[in-house]
Structure 1
């Protein structure tokens, strides 16, 4: 039995692939993939909004640090730092301590690199650093102790925290398993390279 439609389908496929190639080597297959040809892309990009939503689930957060400071953290704002390939998290803070006459408000700014964790199939925050701590009033006299408390909180709170989790079907195609490679922070999102495992 013959299949006259097969050569036409083959010509269409070759045309579609040629169109992708003409677009340049830097063009992701995502741009050329359609529901008819669901090829695995060269990379996935997820947005700042997706990271914001993931981080926001962790807050508000309250903890006693070194039995001295009661710290409440809230209202996270995620930023992208393409120059250093990191993400930032700005947090409103409220601190209370026996050393302070009354609770004070402040702002903590943290930054973190991103890595892929194969066990959870997630892009996670790694090695968070305290970039800046700003506090009001009486608390300024205890800036060093507050910085130390912020560093402890950053480690407890954000190390290994997932900001994006891949679904199994995003990393498999035609029996071949893929995995995330290089992670690049862009001005408008985070790009994760997809490579054959």
Structure 2
């Protein structure tokens, strides 16, 4: 009678091995997905490693807005306006993004150029065509100008409103990569956008 040699311990099959392997795969896939996205969070559901949201930072918005500056425009041949040094602030209580800029105005109506600042703010929306989160519905929150510009407050406010429209309307502050919105043949799209104190959270839902 031929006796079979006992199997080496490392070749013995555990009944829990498939489950453990599958769990390890899901955990590693979740970690890989987390590394690929912008501070994304893993979600529960059919695919545990698909994020239910992405979060991008205030600094990313700051870097995007900075590319629009310096801004120089002539307005109605009455004002030469120069805007510089944008500083982005998140306003979670209003769910808006604010941009504070230094302003320099020159005009034949004024004896000398004046300096000051504009504070503009905007909502955020998702533009499906460009796959981008964009600034939308900008407004002027405040205008603070020195010198004799106060006598021309109406015109200066019109300059600020024009700057808000030209600078911020539909300007992209974050663009999704195609692979961030698709997995295993399933397409996803951004939904609710929430501004937090330390970043911007974009909910991701299945199309």
TM-score under structure 2 length normalisation: 0.81
Encode CA deviations 1:129-155: one digit per residue, 9 max, x unaligned: 000000001111111110011101111
1:23 aligns to what? none
Aligned to 1:43, what secondary structure does the other structure show? Answer: strand
- CA distance in structure 2 between the partners assigned to 1:175 and 1:164 by the alignment: 24
Higher relative contact order (CA 8 A, sep 6+): 1
**1:26 match:** none
In the alignment of these two chains, the number of paired residues is 181
Aligned counterpart in structure 2 of residue 11 of structure 1, from 20, 28, 31: 20
Which is higher, the Rg of structure 1 or of structure 2?
2
1:110 maps to 120
Deviates more, 1:111-120 or 1:59-68: 59-68
Contact 2:103 2:117 in 1 (8 A): yes
Q: Residue 139 of structure 2 corresponds to which residue in structure 1?
A: 129
- Structure-2 residue corresponding to 1:166: 176
Could you tell me whether the CA contact under 8 Å between 1:108 and 1:133 is conserved in 2?
Answer: yes
Unaligned runs of 5+ in 1: 21-28
Gaps of at least 5 residues in structure 2 are 1-12, 31-38
Q: 8 Å contact 1:66–1:149 — kept in the other structure?
A: no
Indicate the RMSD between aligned Cα atoms, in angstroms. 2.4
Aligned with residue 138 of structure 1, among 139, 148, 156: 148
Change (3 A) 1:11 1:149: same
Conserved? CA contact 1:121–1:165, under 8 Å:
yes
